[in-house]
Chains A and B, each alone.
Chain A
């Protein structure tokens, strides 16, 4: 192995030069403790969040601090972002000069050139009225959000990979876009996640972890996280309060004692079925919509693979079946596995999928505006479990599977 012998002084010099080179970048980093004294000055005040548990927002005078804990399952990472006003070059200069440690990223706000590597951020930005700030889009083939999809078609938004691992490979194209914010998700899997590498190139990467929240309102509250970067804090708060108010009113209406129809979810694949645990995002929706979820007592917040026998034993008599996978109609669902006939819900035709708004590439608005507007998802589910005269034409994301395609 080739090794270059250097004395400690030379090594320090090289490190200092590297630090200086990095300091010219917008996504520069800061030592974890040092920013308090050097920059923040006044004591920080935490902005209260209602349900989001994975991030905190603090007001520290001129500068704001966002902290994200556990950006993916099993991660022990804590990422901190210092949001420094663009109008204060002196503060930005000081922050950049101090850049050293990888867990703090300095971002000049409000951001105006955004690269979004996941489709859900497009929906959040659309809701905030900032979709036009998107200059590059990863997973571009799956975007549903109409304004962004149209701009991708017109090539006004750079295509940074249609789907899959290629999304994390377009570093050169991303650098050419000169974004002032890169919104990415973290997975801890190097093939999908090159966030550290992006940072090394000086890209201001922010790892968004809304999907780690276990409640729909917790996920939706990340609109406030994004609102802080684009300088739309108050409208983000206003939007969120409206969403939460509407969500709560449906939940309260459905919490009254009464019949809660039993519900089965998912579909079999290779002899097993992945079902959401009792503490998961999906299970919370079902409970809040007034359903009796078959696996509500499964511990945890992720999903669990169950053997099909247990699924049949526990849920064959469920009145409603949601999220039956790729099947487009009842006939397709029966053709996938004739043994599905054991589920009463199939016989009664009470099978619903969340694919009303999907595009040809498989992009689904349920995972875009549905994440930002859980109140609409809940209203859909409530009308499925407690049908009214309006029928399913009023549903936004769900549809009842028909007998024919």
Chain B
């Protein structure tokens, strides 16, 4: 296991370096490194590209991959279902609703243009956070009331359907040009964040990851089943609440800043399990952080392949490149459901 983790770590460093050195604008390697290590004047355009675009982008990709993977792992444990992902709680739909209300719903009023120019990107982030937080609060309240994980799963899917319906109504009344802005947001992107935004998203996401690490014992207890958990002295409702809170925080924040990034949350735990070779969350969780960061860096590299004049949508790449990997891993394993008791 150590060898595999070391290899994973080496891959992470290599991909991080590649993501910084290989952008969609083909810069000479020597100049890129010179810019990275501050040997070019600070106002130099190459220096600005490396420092303001490539570095935040690579860091964002790692944070997004790690957060969604951990959120996905927590959801799979909570629902004891290998198909669960961070968005089954309706968090992404909540964020989409917030953004749709801002970009599409307000389109008919003067408030839209002024809020959009005044708040800019922050308007979108704020709307997404408000949307996902609203859904999160509703889910947390229901999580206190509802006994079984599967009930929560159904509630999450229903909330997702309802918010999806409101988004559809808003789209129906929107001019195609505005719809385009919203659709672009739904494609997901890690390239939209500069340092200012990263310095807001980073600490929140790191706090979410730290909380998840602190509560791995609750996750183990949930995986073993509720009666077993009780026998270990773990309060199941409290554990469920912890999982819902951290997942909402991680997935909600990432969605707010980068749009709904599909697939990673559901897929990465399946890559991490064989790598770690253990079902205990104390090991699985860091494994997911590593695999998630590696996968997102690889996907980000694929979105802006050097020499191509354009970039691909992130969501298409995560599924297109990630799905075959998961199929490959899953075909080599026995019944995945066994891992869920």
A-B complex is real: yes
A residues bordering B, Cβ < 8 Å?
139, 141-142, 162-166, 187, 192, 268-272, 304-310, 312-313, 316-317, 326-329, 332-333, 335-339, 342, 358, 360-362, 405
A163-B108, A270-B184 are known contacts. Are A327 and B25 too (CB-CB below 8 A)? no
Answer whether A336 and B121 are a contact pair too, CB < 8 Å, given A164-B174, A316-B48: yes
Q: A307-B304, A307-B310, A309-B54 are in contact. Are A336 and B120 (CB under 8 A)?
A: yes
Q: Which residue of A lies closest to B25 (CB)?
A: A309
Contact A270 B172, beta carbon cutoff 8 Å: no
Q: Are A272 and B114 in contact (CB under 8 A)?
A: no
Given A307-B25, A360-B109, CB of A139 within 8 Å of CB of B175: yes
Most buried by B among A162, A338, A358: A338
Which of B117, B190, B304 interacts with A329 by CB under 8 Å?
B117
B49 touching A309, Cβ below 8 Å:
yes
- Alpha-carbon gap, A360 to B191, bound state (A): 32
Q: Which residue on B lies nearest to A163, using beta carbons?
A: B175
Q: Does B231 contact A (CB under 8 A)?
A: no
Determine if B173 is an interface residue (Cβ-Cβ < 8 Å).
yes
Q: Are B311 and A272 in contact (CB under 8 A)?
A: yes
Say yes or no: is B24 at the interface (Cβ < 8 Å to chain A).
Answer: yes
Is the beta-carbon distance between A192 and B176 smaller than 8 angstroms? yes
Identity of the chain A residue whose Cβ is nearest the Cβ of B170 in the assembled complex: A164
Structural contact, A332 and B120, CB atoms closer than 8 A: yes
Q: B216 an interface residue at 8 Å Cβ cutoff?
A: no
Complex partner residue of B53 from A165, A309, A332, CB under 8 angstroms: A309
Collect the chain A residues with CB atoms within 8 Å of residue B274's CB. none
* Chain A residues near B181 (CB-CB < 8 A): 269
Looking at B54, B117, B184, the one whose CB has the most chain A CB atoms below 10 A away is B117
- The digit string for B152-184, where 1 denotes a CB below 8 A from any CB of A, is 000000000000000000011111101101001
- Assess whether B107 is interfacial by the CB under 8 Å rule: yes
Quick one: which of B39-89 are within 8 Å of A by CB?
Answer: 45, 48-49, 52-54, 57
How close is B167's CB to chain A, nearest CB, in angstroms? 13
Option from B27, B189, B194 in Cβ contact (under 8 Å) with A337? B194
Given B119, B173, B304, which contacts A335 in the complex, CB threshold below 8 Å?
B119
How far apart sit A360 and B113, CA to CA, in the bound complex (Å)? 9
A39 to B332, CA, bound (A): 73
Interface size on B, residues (CB 8 A): 50
Q: B residues touching A (Cβ–Cβ < 8 Å)?
A: 23-25, 27, 45, 48-49, 52-54, 57, 107-110, 112-114, 116-122, 171-176, 178-179, 181, 184-185, 187-192, 194-196, 259, 304, 309-311
Q: Which residues does chain A contribute within 8 Å of B113, judged by CB atoms?
A: 326, 328, 358, 362
With both chains docked as a complex, state the minimum distance between the C-beta of B202 and any C-beta of chain A, in angstroms: 16
Contact between A337 and B121 (Cβ–Cβ < 8 Å)?
Answer: yes
Q: Which residues of B have CB within 8 Å of A270? A: 184-185, 187-189, 191-192, 259
Q: How far is the CA of A163 from the CA of B177 in the complex (A)?
A: 11
Q: Whole-angstrom distance between the alpha carbons of A317 and B195 in the complex?
A: 22
Residue numbers in A under 8 Å from B191 (CB-CB)? 270-272, 307-308
**A332 and B175 in contact (CB under 8 A), knowing A270-B191, A271-B190, A309-B53?**
no
Minimum CB–CB distance from B100 to chain A (whole Å) comes to 13
Give the complex CA separation of A288 and B117 in angstroms: 30
Identify the interface centre among A271, A332, A342: most chain B CB within 10 Å of its CB: A271
Ranked nearest first, the 3 interchain pairs of A and B with the lowest CB-CB distance are A271-B191, A336-B120, A307-B24
Complex Cα distance A115/B187, Å?
Answer: 36
Question: Residues of B contacting A317 with CB < 8 Å?
Answer: 45
Complex alpha-carbon distance, A60 and B118, angstroms: 57
* Chain B nearest CB, measured from A358 CB (Å): 8
Sample (19) of A-B pairs whose CB atoms are under 8 Å apart = A164-B174, A166-B173, A270-B188, A270-B189, A270-B259, A271-B189, A271-B192, A308-B53, A308-B191, A309-B49, A310-B25, A312-B49, A326-B116, A339-B194, A360-B109, A361-B109, A362-B107, A362-B113, A362-B175
Nearest chain B residue, comparing its CB with the CB of A314:
B25
| Cβ-neighbour of B45 out of A164, A307, A342, A360 (below 8 A) | A342
A311 to chain B, nearest CB (A): 9
B309 partner, pick from A162, A304, A335, A362, beta carbons under 8 A? A304
CB neighbours (8 Å) of B311 from chain A are 271-272, 305-307
A162 touching B108, Cβ below 8 Å: yes
Which residues from B are CB-within-8-Å of A316?
45, 48
Q: Which residue of B lies closest to A332 (CB)?
A: B117
Query: Residue B117 contacts which of A141, A309, A326 (CB distance < 8 angstroms)?
Result: A326
- What are the residues of chain A within 8 A of B194 when measuring CB–CB? 337-339
Contact (A361, B108) CB under 8 Å given A162-B173, A328-B114: yes
The reply to whether A269 and B184 form a contact with Cβ atoms under 8 Å apart is: yes
Question: How many Å lie between the Cα of A294 and that of B196 in the bound state?
Answer: 28
In the bound complex, CA of A139 to CA of B174 (Å)? 10
- A327 vs B119: C-alpha distance when bound (angstroms): 10
Closest approach, in angstroms, between the C-beta of B286 and any C-beta of chain A? 29
CA gap between A187 and B49 in the complex, in Å: 38
Assembly CA distance A373 to B22 (angstroms) = 46
The complex places the Cα of A198 from the Cα of B113 at a distance, in Å, of 34
Closest Cβ neighbor of A363 among chain B residues: B175
Which residues on A sit within 8 Å (CB–CB) of B173?
A: 162-166
CB-CB under 8 A from B196, the residues of chain A are 338
- A316–B259 alpha-carbon span in the complex (Å): 27
Q: Are A327 and B310 in contact (CB under 8 A)?
A: no
Taking a contact as CB atoms under 8 Å apart, the answer to whether A342 and B48 are in contact is yes
Q: A270-B185, A271-B190, A309-B54 are in contact. Are A163 and B174 (CB under 8 A)?
A: yes
CB distance from B117 to the nearest CB of A (A): 4
Chain A residues with Cβ below 8 Å from B184 are 269-270, 272
Question: Contact at B310–A304, with CB atoms within 8 Å?
Answer: yes
Instruction: Please determine whether A335 and B122 come into contact, CB atoms closer than 8 angstroms.
Output: yes
Question: From A360, which residue of chain B is reached at the shortest CB distance?
Answer: B110
User: What are the residues of chain A within 8 A of B119 when measuring CB–CB?
Assistant: 335
In the complex, how many angstroms separate the beta carbon of B62 from the nearest chain A beta carbon?
16
